[in-house]
Amino acid sequence: MADHSIEITPIDDQIPLLPQTKRDEIEEGRKVNPLKEIFVEMFEDLYNSPIKSRTIFKVNVWLRESNPSAYTPKMVSIGPYHKKNDQLRPMEKYKSLYLRRFLKRNEGLDMHSCVIELQKLEKEALNCYGDIEDLNIESHKFCKMLLLDGCFVVEFIREICGIFPREEDEINTNIGCIYNKILRDLMLLENQLPFFVLNKLHDMTKQDDELPLAIQAVISFPFFVDLENMIKKNIYEPLIEIATNAGNIKHLLHAVHILSCHGNPTKTSNDDTMWNIFMPNATELSEAGVRFAKDRNSDGNKNNNSDMTSLFDIKFDGGLMTIPCFQVVDETEAFLRNLIAYEQQSYEVQPKYFSDFAIFMDHLIDSDKDVNLLRQKGIIKHLMGEDKDVSSLFNKIGNGVTTYSTFYYGKECLRASQHCEKKLNTMIANLMRNYCSSPWVGASTVAAIILLLLTTIQTILAIIGSIK
């Protein structure tokens, strides 16, 4: 074993610790704390992080968990989030066909020049995505993705609008009737491209008489999930506004959100607890005397556009609740969920119309009985098989949705709840429902009352006679 020697220094010869530290700081200029360096670097990264520019998000887990498939593309992947999904790979070859069509629109255009233009937008486009660093996408692959996916979206929208290059027909006829499936995927929050990328590509091949891409995009979707009945007033008014402010559009889902919510008034409330009021379901409201009716201007009558109502024009007044007529189809859930997810994860979107609509309908519908009542009143038209499927949709769609004191239907919920608290209304409603539900039942009830009165009078007279 090797010998170890320890040198013992007299205490008098040692330099105290504190003065030595000060001397080192003076000699080295400034002693740096490694832990402090880590925090400084972390906060610098946070300060420089473009959080506000992020507009295309991964959907939060508390929204996703009740129905993950509603946020996942089934036909085509757009953007980086679902690029590695092997089930979507068959559509990649059709993106090349759309790219070829795109390049044919301008004789002097080729892939190289397109990529050069997109490289100028690369950094700004990357900043639009959250957690993009986890995807580990190389620069040239990201630009290639922007080109292929962007040309697919632009050309698909043109195809819907009937804008074809000379001697070309629809590409999608080769793969069957899949318009609705592709439209569904283009409305997913995680399946978006920044709109300024799409606009740039469109401008590179735009014809002189061609409408702006923003207008083409939003008029492509009213045929999808009955969006026509969600639009307030004349459609051309919001179209002009959208085309004028195309630079403010984040992506296609945002454009449809703008169109759907245009013209709706902003409601304000002084009562911060109003949104937390419990509202009975449709069946319970009916038993308390509340009458339901569809809005007379929401049934697809386009003759008087100035009176058209939107999906959000729900009113309660004097025991009457009017709700615009709307359809529920297979694509409705994914469409609503992704608009809700965009509202929930975008701090600048106010009011949160679709989120509040989902919460309101979740209160109104508890079972298939509630759906049946609303369907009989012409408020809900659905093609989903059974009423229980619609009730299941609205029971789950509000899961994970945050409500605020600015809840859009706060006054309606409060008035409906107060109406139900009045027992006289409940008693009268029960009497009317049980004894006057039809003319024959009403006549029988009146006859029974008269007979009861006559029998009572006869009994009283007989008693009086016997006493005399």
Please list the pLDDT of the chain residue by residue as tens digits (468 residues). Answer: 444 444 444 444 444 444 555 555 545 555 556 666 665 555 555 445 555 678 999 999 999 999 999 999 999 999 999 999 999 998 998 999 999 999 999 888 999 999 999 999 999 999 999 877 767 788 889 999 999 999 999 999 999 888 877 666 667 655 656 888 898 999 999 999 999 999 999 999 998 889 889 888 888 876 555 565 555 555 556 667 777 777 789 999 999 898 888 777 776 554 555 455 678 999 999 988 899 999 876 655 544 444 556 788 899 998 999 999 888 988 889 999 999 999 999 988 888 999 999 999 999 999 999 999 999 999 998 877 889 999 999 999 999 998 888 889 988 998 998 888 775 566 666 666 666 666 666 677 677 778 888 888 888 887 877 776
The Cα 194–Cα 142 span in angstroms is 13
Q: Are 242 and 214 in contact (CB under 8 A)?
A: yes
Q: Are 79 and 195 in contact (CB under 8 A)?
A: no
Amino acid at 182: I
Angle, alpha carbons 51-258-80 (nearest 5°): 45
What pLDDT, on a 0 to 100 scale, did the predictor assign at position 19?
A: 53
Q: How many CB atoms lie within 10 A of CB 300?
A: 11
- Check residue 207 and report its DSSP letter: -
* DSSP SS3 for 308: coil
Kindly state the greatest CA–CA separation across the chain: 138
The Cα 188–Cα 220 span in angstroms is 15
The Cα 35–Cα 140 span in angstroms is 37
Structure tokens at 370: 């509630």
What pLDDT, on a 0 to 100 scale, did the predictor assign at position 225?
A: 55
Alpha-carbon Rg for the chain, nearest whole angstrom, is 33
**Residues 6 or more apart whose Cβ sits within 8 Å of residue 393:** 328, 332, 333, 384
What pLDDT, on a 0 to 100 scale, did the predictor assign at position 95?
A: 94
Phi, psi dihedral angles at 316 (to 5 degrees): -130, 120
* DSSP SS3 for 316: strand
**Residues 6 or more apart whose Cβ sits within 8 Å of residue 348:** none
Residue with tokens 């429902």: 433
Residue 107's Cβ-side half-sphere holds a number of Cα atoms within 13 Å equal to 1
The Cα 4–Cα 22 span in angstroms is 33
Residue 56 β-bridge partners: 129
What pLDDT, on a 0 to 100 scale, did the predictor assign at position 405?
A: 81
Closest CA to 156 of 203, 101, 108: 101
Structure tokens at 32: 């740096």
Structure tokens at 69: 């498939």
The Cα 422–Cα 251 span in angstroms is 48
Structure tokens at 173: 């006829």
The dihedral region occupied by 400, where left means phi > 0, alpha psi between -120 and 50, and beta the remainder, is left
Residue 395 β-bridge partners: none
Residue with tokens 């106010």: 350
Structure tokens at 450: 């008269």
The Cα 188–Cα 207 span in angstroms is 29
What pLDDT, on a 0 to 100 scale, did the predictor assign at position 459?
A: 83
- 180: part of which helix (H) or strand (E)? helix 179-186
Distant-in-sequence contacts of 371-377, Cβ < 8 A, 24+ apart? 373/282, 373/283, 373/286, 373/292, 374/282, 374/292, 374/323, 377/292, 377/293, 377/294
